[in-house]
Chains A and B, each alone.
Chain A
Amino acid sequence: MSIKLNALLKSPWVFHLSTGSCNNCDIEVLDCLTPRFDIERFGMLLVGSIKHADVLLVTGSANRKSVVRLKRLYEQIPKPCLVVAIGECALSRGMFIHSYNCPVPLDKIIPVDIYIPGCPPKPEAIIAGVVKLINRVREKAAVKK
């Protein structure tokens, strides 16, 4: 495994971005970070700046105005990075699929590595999803080697 990837998987720092969600997924993400579920035991840490992050957590249905910000953030995140789509809106826009303000789904804008469905997904689901993603990336890297 390359040193970059090792550093990424050992302790993935996450940046949380809401692209126009109803805040319910954001509350569940927050739940993951607080002591009850405590994802810091996996080394995950919420960071305030995208330039410190390894993982981009995206919630919400990507509306016309936030898409501009989303692209800008994706450009700034250090690569290699992982993108996690959380919640029905980030997956397929949910009930906003015909909305005038949500023309394109998230995975047609930036590459998404893992989808966590639910409205909102439980904190357990979010943790399970992220752990699965880390394991998969690690296995892939091992195979390549």
Chain B
Amino acid sequence: MDRNAVIEDIKKRFEADVTDVFDKSPKRVYIGIRPESIRRVAQYVLRDLGARFNIASGVDARGHMEILYHFTLEDINLLVSFRVILPKEKLEIDSLAPLFEGANWIEREMNELLGITFKGHPDMRRLLLPAEWPEGVYPLRCDYREWDKDAIRDRGV
């Protein structure tokens, strides 16, 4: 399948799940997906289209939280980014870690830095933050405020 056929195929197969398609450039396409259907779409792209999972990125945008799952289709040189928009009141999404191991650590990282809950993750522990970090404080959120009273924030000169 060539590039356009792949996009059309995803559009047609997941008609109810795809919210929008943004054709950025010949090498790059963004596809909006409803949060509840990410696992099915990811499974199809990985198992049937033979894509490779690059990375996922979480963004704290104004008014909502966003996760981008980047998949590469190497034989046709295309990077497909599935964009999932989560409302701030309900930061929950199905975990992709049971499908493939590559999603394990990045979901742990998004969980501790942005506070997104991944349902069905096999091993949800902290990855980067130290043990003394307080529960429920997420450093990469826009509304993060300093909690550490001992922190020194001047240059000392």
Query: For B146, what are the chain A residues with a Cβ–Cβ distance below 8 Å?
Result: 100
- From A65, A98, A100, A104, give the contact of B150 (CB < 8 A): A104
Q: Are B139 and A97 in contact (CB under 8 A)?
A: no
Whether B130 pairs with A100 at a CB distance below 8 angstroms is no
A-B interface pairs (CB < 8 A), number: 29
Contact A97 B148 (CB under 8 A): no
Apart from A100-B146, A108-B156, what 5 extra A-B contacts exist at CB < 8 Å?
A68-B130, A97-B155, A103-B151, A103-B152, A104-B150
B residues sitting closer than 8 Å to A (CB atoms) are 128-130, 132-133, 139, 144, 146, 148, 150-153, 155-157
8 contacts between A and B (CB under 8 A): A64-B129, A92-B155, A100-B139, A100-B146, A101-B139, A103-B150, A104-B151, A105-B156
**Chain B residues with CB below 8 A from A103, complex form:** 148, 150-152
Given the complex, which residues of A lie within 8 Å of B139, measured CB to CB? Answer: 100-101
CA distance A108 to B133 in the complex (A): 20
Within 8 Å CB of B133, what residues of A? 64
Chain B proximity mask over A123-134: 1 for CB below 8 Å, otherwise 0 = 000000000000
Q: Are A100 and B156 in contact (CB under 8 A)?
A: no
Please measure, in the bound complex, the distance between the C-alpha atom of A34 and the C-alpha atom of B15, giving whole angstroms.
60
- CB-based contact A100/B144 at 8 Å: yes
Cα(A105)–Cα(B155), bound, Å: 8
Least distance between B131 CB and chain A CB atoms (Å)? 9
Which of A98, A100, A104, A105 has the largest count of B CB atoms less than 10 A from its CB? A100
